[in-house]
Amino acid sequence: MKAIFRARRLRLASGRTSLAALSTALMIGAASPALAQTADAEQPQGNAEIDEEAGVIVVTGFRASVENSIAAKRESNFIVDIVTADDIAGLPDVSIAESLARLPGVTSQRTGGQASAINIRGLSQDLVSPTLNGREQVATSGNRVIEFDQYPSELINQAAVYKTPLASHIEGGIAGKVELKTVRPLDNADAFKATVNLRGLYNDRASESPDVSSYGYRVSGSVQAKLLDDTLGIALGYARLYQPNVATRFVQFDFPIPGTNGSPTRDLNGDGVADSLNFGFEGIQFGGRETRDAAIGVIQWEPTSNLRVLIDGYYSRFRSDVARRGLRVVSPQSGDNQFINPVIANNALIGGRIVNQVGSNGFGFGLGTELVNQDESRRDELYTIGGNIAYDINERVTLAVDVGYSKGTSFFNNAGINLRPYVSTPTGLVRADSVPGLISVDYQLNGTRLPTIRSIGSNFTDLDPAGGGFFLDGQFLVPQADSDELFAAATDLVVGFDESNFLDKLRFGFRYADRRGDRRVTSFNTFGIPGSPLALPGNLVQQAGFSGGYANAGLPNFAVVDIDGAFNLAFGNTLGVRQPTDQIAFDFTIDQSFRIDEETWAGYAQLDFDTELGGLRFHGNVGARYVRTDQSSTVNFADPNLTDNPATPPPARENRRPVTRGRTFNDFLPAVNLILDLSDRDILRMSYSRQISRPRFFELRGSISVNTGSDGNTSGSGGNPDLSPYRANQFDLAYEHYFGNSGVFAVSAYYKDLESYIINGTIPQFNYVDNGITPPPIPGTNIPGNAVGSFSSPINGDGGYVYGIEFQFSKTFVELPAPFDGLGVQLNYAYSKSDLEFPSATSGASINLPLPGLSEHVFNPTVFYEKAGFGARLSTRHRSSFVSPQIGISELILTSAKETVMDAQLSYQFQEGSVLRGLKLLAQVNNLTDEPTRTYWGNVAQTGTIQNFGRTFFLGATYEF
């Protein structure tokens, strides 16, 4: 019976499809680390993956890629959505993140204007597990979250989102798993294949930033060859992206709850309720450039019919240099500022005229202004290499071994200078914000639209040393280095059964992984300048300004300062390239540096079956995975019993001692996937699983940071090495109807019962001294801070759920008469809902909130046309508002507003018979409407951030030979 059903399936996969696309389904179906890399000797031509399936589909063009994805979804043995590409440069998106964000139930968060982090089924990127060629990936983010924009689409041959797990999958990923795959050269029909891709790009907002080019480029090339009678395959690929990194943004700082952390309790409108006075706002231009280089190498060797060897490597390097320039209005809540015609909404100040007054309420200063001049640089490097050997012991037994190593490093440096206005007095220069009445601002917030700024009582282009202008009075350096290193080894044994048996395959496997994350932080925060305040000469200054809607909002022109020149002026170039030395009396912040060590041992057993139920094919898999995790964090704590030697330079401090804290936990993770073929075109899928997602490294850190306010109150935050992972029981039900090979309608429902999740909690009475920590003194004094204060830390919460439903309709309309038979659509809609209780960081009360990153509505429509070489595509990604990731949950929630991002592409592929056959021309626009990202504080009237990235235009060509 099993053979009959299999033959029927293969007949349905014929026609436009061929053997290569079903191998996509097989590759994901075998997804244990060792077996995901190998081919099955039972399959035709000897180049399919280890699985029960057979056949492949040849993919050409976007339309055929859609059909290939549909075929792979149909043949999978769990719930999955797939993006495939025939050519190594076949995907039109800049990074694989943009392609993933078009799948059902998948959304992205934009960094620098392009998709980077991936959310699945309303759950944030922290709960997404990434793999490359079946192996767990490290990150350069300093956490487990990988930034998918580091993976150029030119080098990714397939991307899949696993929405239900198999027991053979690597544990992790309550939201889902993203599996990226590079090319396999022996799968090609041709003995040799090479592709070259070149695209120029232009960003229409880059010209607003000084010294930033609007132009960039994207270039890639790849070679694939089959040698030694098609037993040896080699593939090499390289991709480079050089582009401007620009943004213009307005930021309204947060609205503290009156009476908390020293916030004033002033009732501005006389309604008897204290109003929240915000911390100010800023207008910023980001301008710089970023470069991404990536390369792959693959060696695939099949010397005999029962031995397969695969070695693959991936390397990526990312460089970003961005200048942040603009202006800032600070401290409306400080001093005893005068408020004229205040505008109150939701008991918060959102407008009016504010005049500087100095008083006892605040930090000794009232309303102030600052010039913003910061340089941010980032250097990321990622490399991974793995080897796999699969050997068919006999016709029914296969043994596979996989070994992989990967490492990611990141260095981020934020350097800047402080410039504030000063005025002359009989006693000398003093800060303008210490003189009542000198500084004022009159503005009105407009929700998720840009504000109306009527006036600001400072001239941000005035650096006149005669007084009244802006002077240099401080600077800062905050470098941070992160590394993430992983070694893993896995072995899998597959035993096949006779086709007369309802059992198909029995799988066993074991995996060991050793992972280490390190963070080194240095903080030279606002150290003083000798002889400050200093006037800056004109050769270090130029003028810049805003344009478009930001200029119309009233944001004024401002001065841009050469930061390196300002540093050299202040220190006589004794710092060289601004390296931290003992010339500056601030040491490395050892207490914020940490190391995470994590070892895991996992074993699994999985039974694949294929039989008949009521005359219908009934197949799937049942299995379980057992995982043991040993996690710890090592930090250096200040020890009151140790004496520091001032002669010892940082970071080797002698009053610190290493402390390691952690825990071990075990998880039993069953996974069941049941599939009933209702007809040749209709499939019903049911799944139950238990899954975990491990905490972020930053949450597991043992380090603690402490601050003391001017009132002596102590507050701090830190990590929790004793955290348990997220744990969830998951239920899925899916129905799929296929329109032959040309389309699918699918509906999926899911429910995730969260037994454990991670939230930020606050301990209001935390004794720092008893925990070996001496609070810093009150600023400007030698008086120590209070021994007892508030402490915020990640903790485990329990009891909550996430549920939702997804609809997918994908169709190429081959039935229509020419020329309309080239038309196609992809329509994806997802609805998600969650219910969790979070403790307030301020009042301690329980707050019911959706999970951070969860958009209730996600809609991704795409309309495309391909005919006679001509191609056109219009894609949209829409998501409703969602709660932004929170540092500490309070009654004031930062929420990201809804957004709709549109992309368009035109292309022409020269056809058979043309002397230019193999050449494809294309033009595309990303972010067609220059959609901003927007946030607000609890209420839409309380603006958060409004940020525009501009449109990016591409024009280029791809040539294959």
pTM (2 decimals)? 0.86
Surface-to-core class of residue 452, CB atoms within 10 Å of its CB (0-12 exposed, 13-18 middle, 19+ buried): middle
Q: Which of 604, 466, 658 is nearest to 35 (CA)?
A: 604
Residue 651: predicted pLDDT: 45
Q: Which residues in 404-426 are b (16+ Cβ under 10 Å) and which e? A: bbbbbbbbbbebbbbbbbbeeee
Give me the phi and psi of 506, to 5 degrees please: -115, 125
Q: Which of 277, 276, 311 is nearest to 296 (CA)?
A: 311
Residue 793 makes CB contacts below 8 A (sequence gap 6+) with 717, 718, 719, 720, 760, 761, 762, 763
Q: Which of 162, 148, 163, 157 is nearest to 181 (CA)?
A: 157
Distance, CA of 31 to CA of 332 (rounded, Å): 56
Give me the phi and psi of 887, to 5 degrees please: -75, -45
Residue 719: predicted pLDDT: 86
Residue 463: predicted pLDDT: 87
- Per residue in 727-779, pLDDT (tens digit) is 999 999 999 999 988 899 999 999 999 998 888 777 778 887 776 677 778 88
Residue numbers in the chain where pLDDT is lower than 50: 1, 3-24, 26, 39-59, 87-89, 362-363, 525, 574-589, 640, 646-654, 887-890
Give yes or no for a contact between 897 and 939, defined as CB atoms under 8 angstroms apart: no
Distance, CA of 876 to CA of 900 (rounded, Å): 7
Give yes or no for a contact between 378 and 481, defined as CB atoms under 8 angstroms apart: no
CA 781 remoteness from chain centre: 42
Q: Which of 127, 122, 257 is nearest to 840 (CA)?
A: 257
Residue 7: predicted pLDDT: 41
Residue 258: predicted pLDDT: 84
Distance, CA of 862 to CA of 959 (rounded, Å): 26
Distance, CA of 150 to CA of 812 (rounded, Å): 31
Q: Which of 739, 758, 646, 628 is nearest to 700 (CA)?
A: 758
Return the sign of the alpha-carbon dihedral for residues 21, 23, 29, 32: negative
Q: Which CATH class is domain 2-960?
A: mainly beta
| H helical segments located in 553-625 | 563-571
Give yes or no for a contact between 943 and 448, defined as CB atoms under 8 angstroms apart: yes
Beta bridge mates, 673? 621, 687
Residue ranges with strand state E in 305-396: 307-330, 338-345, 348-355, 368-392
Token digits for 666?
């075990």
Rg of the chain over Cα atoms, rounded to whole angstroms, equals: 30
DSSP conformation class of 41: T
Three-state SS at 336: coil
Give yes or no for a contact between 669 and 625, defined as CB atoms under 8 angstroms apart: yes
Residue ranges with strand state E in 739-781: 743-767
- Per residue in 641-677, pLDDT (tens digit) is 555 554 444 444 445 667 788 899 999 999 999 999 9
The angle formed by the CA atoms of residues 649, 654 and 656, to the nearest 5 degrees, is 120
Residue 642: predicted pLDDT: 55
**619-to-49, 80, 608, 609, 684 alpha-carbon distances in Å:** 19, 16, 8, 5, 11
Can you state the angle between helices 61-75 and 19-29, rounded to 10 degrees?
A: 50
Distance, CA of 383 to CA of 9 (rounded, Å): 40
Other C-beta atoms closer than 10 Å to the C-beta of 721 total 23
The angle formed by the CA atoms of residues 838, 792 and 709, to the nearest 5 degrees, is 130
Residue 895 makes CB contacts below 8 A (sequence gap 6+) with 881, 882, 883, 884, 935, 936, 937, 938, 944
Three-state SS at 168: coil
Residue 95 makes CB contacts below 8 A (sequence gap 6+) with 114, 115, 116, 148, 149, 150, 151, 152, 153
Question: Could you give the percent of the chain with pLDDT greater than 90?
Answer: 54
Domain ranges in the chain are 2-960
Residue 37: predicted pLDDT: 54
Q: Which of 575, 555, 547, 551 is nearest to 563 (CA)?
A: 575
